[in-house]
A and B are shown apart, each in its own frame.
Chain A
Amino acid sequence: MKRLRLALLALGGAGLAALLVAACLDLPGFGGRSHPYGTRAVHASLTRRAANTIASVNFDQRAYDTLGEMSILFAAVLGCVVLLRQARDEHRAQPQPAEVARPVRRYALIVLPVALVTGLYVIAHGQLSPGGGFQGGVVAATALHLLYLGADYRALERIRPLAVYETSDALAVSSYLVLGLAGVLAGTAFLANTLLPYGTFNTLSSGGTVPLLNAAIGIEVASAVVVLLANFLDQAVEIEEEHGS
């Protein structure tokens, strides 16, 4: 049985290696000047007046793919919430406030607002400069958790009413869908970027629906990461198994 499995693994590995080598031999040279897809994507984003071509690809040309990715994140976080919930044989113990080294506290409390504003900036300028809803959302959400390093868990819980983040996660997902359906109602297609005026190139409101979809993703990702980390932190810090069981 073991030999059969090894043979199967060797066969699969050899096939994968052969295909990869064949694919690599057909690749265009490293750092060449011809980028057929890149040229077309840049052209399409310029006609919609979106300065960041990546944002244009994510939220306009391939907005449907982004809908899929957003659903994956939403489903994954939902799964974590269900798995990590407080079970019947567990109880919550109030974590004791711990001593925080003075430099750690100072550094964390100075960096927290800077990181939070950086995250919000990256979300807001997604259609103009590198970054966008996903990157900025993760930065903003992890920035909040510097309060756990700088103070303690109860301080973090106070600025993080979990129900609010769970609700805004769901609302952001729905608003992405509603923005997509608005295109259908307006007579074009699902998630088609024909609804809003394209605006002036390289301003915050340029690009039609791109900034709106970007903001929806930003809120969704930030809330999802906060909810995810909250469930992991609860398990690591608060929830304990009953000793008798």
Chain B
Amino acid sequence: MDDAVIVVALLLMAGSATAAVVQRDPARQALVLSVLGSVLAVLFTVLQAPDVGLSQLAVGSALTPLLIMLSVRKVRRRGRPEDGGAK
């Protein structure tokens, strides 16, 4: 039973990690990264490391995507006044 849960968590992990690499748009990548962070937190909890899981949940699924989104916004805002349509 435990092994089945671990295998499912590992498969989800591999799936979301692949999705994060395949996705090329940084803003969407941040969202996928947030899902990846949550799945990784589940994996840590399943492997009986709730402390690491909590850190991962706080940093990986909230803080890092937020910082990426803010950076993307800044870069796009800077690009706007000089040449209209280009990202």
Contacts and interface: CB of A to CB of B under 8 A. Distances in A.
Interface of A: 31, 52, 54, 122, 130-132, 134-135, 138-139, 142, 145, 225, 228-229, 232-233, 235-236, 240-241, 243
Contacts of A139: 58
B31 interface: no
A239 to B, nearest CB: 9
Residue of B2, B71, B77 with most chain A CB atoms under a 10 A cut-off: B77
Task: Report whether over half of chain A's contact residues are helix, strand or loop; otherwise say mixed.
Answer: helix
- Enumerate the 7 nearest inter-chain pairs by beta-carbon distance, A residue then B residue, closest first: A130-B50, A138-B58, A135-B54, A232-B70, A236-B70, A54-B51, A236-B73
Task: Report whether over half of chain B's contact residues are helix, strand or loop; otherwise say mixed.
Answer: helix
A132 B58 CA distance: 12
Contact of A135 (B2, B58, B77): B58
Interface in B52-72: 53-55, 57-59, 62-63, 66-67, 70-71
B70 A233 contact: yes
B66 A130 contact: no
B58 A236 contact: no
Contacts of A134: 55
B55 A135 contact: yes
A130 B58 CA distance: 13
Contact of B51 (A132, A142, A145): A132
A241 B50 CA distance: 44
Contacts of A236: 70-71, 73-74, 77
A134 B54 CA distance: 9
B81 interface: yes
A122 B51 CA distance: 11
Given A228-B67, A235-B70, 10 more contacts: A31-B2, A52-B51, A130-B54, A142-B58, A142-B63, A229-B66, A232-B74, A233-B70, A236-B71, A241-B78
